[in-house]
Structure 1
């Protein structure tokens, strides 16, 4: 994992934006995530084999931020974890490129390849999502805005 930087100046604006996102969906069929809702931007990735791609939501803030921190991104996932929310150890879908860039909004501990990282509010990180990782249960509201690239052969509609 590598820290790319921090959202500092507009962190309160980012918190407000997250709190006012509606139409967040559940992943009721997942046995990996708990107490989490989510919303896709640009493209929505339905995590089946093979990956299904649909049009996602549009937000100029997400587009601007993604273009700044991960040029060429294909989809962004806003995930909201309520207290107790977590994600068990897994590797991300193989139809995504391995590198992801994520903005942490709140406090969290992310275990990557069995090494814990205490993520700070506003921290922007990148890591190989094809290696095992998990999110420990959060103790307060936490969001992440994660940018990914989809392997080109799966970007057909």
Structure 2
């Protein structure tokens, strides 16, 4: 895994946490005599955990960044449409305003706003789902790793 691309953690590389020169699991647990304990396997598992967390954070960051961008686009479109409608009303003058047309425009604006809200909610849901799936996948792997480890102790 390469360095993270997050601006708030640009100088931090998760892989350095498990660099054998900096982190020697065997040496850390050398004083403990636990039968069947594999410190290297523990370190590898923790590295996988950190990689999964980093991947989930990246998905969440990118997803919410896309959501914010789309929200800004929708806001800009709304302002442009409102400006055009105000210019239209101002050009016609108060005596030429058609209440039926105004009611249709309001109805259309409300329907569009609801569709936009639905789109934004779907983007947020997609981001949350992808982030959860990344963490859930690793959690299932951890359960399987534990099952395998405990099965060794039973023999």
Shorter-chain TM band: under 0.3
Task: Please give the TM-score of this superposition, normalised by the length of structure 1.
Answer: 0.19
The structure in which a higher percent of residues are strand is 1
The structure in which a higher percent of residues are helix is 2
Task: Please give the TM-score of this superposition, normalised by the length of structure 2.
Answer: 0.19
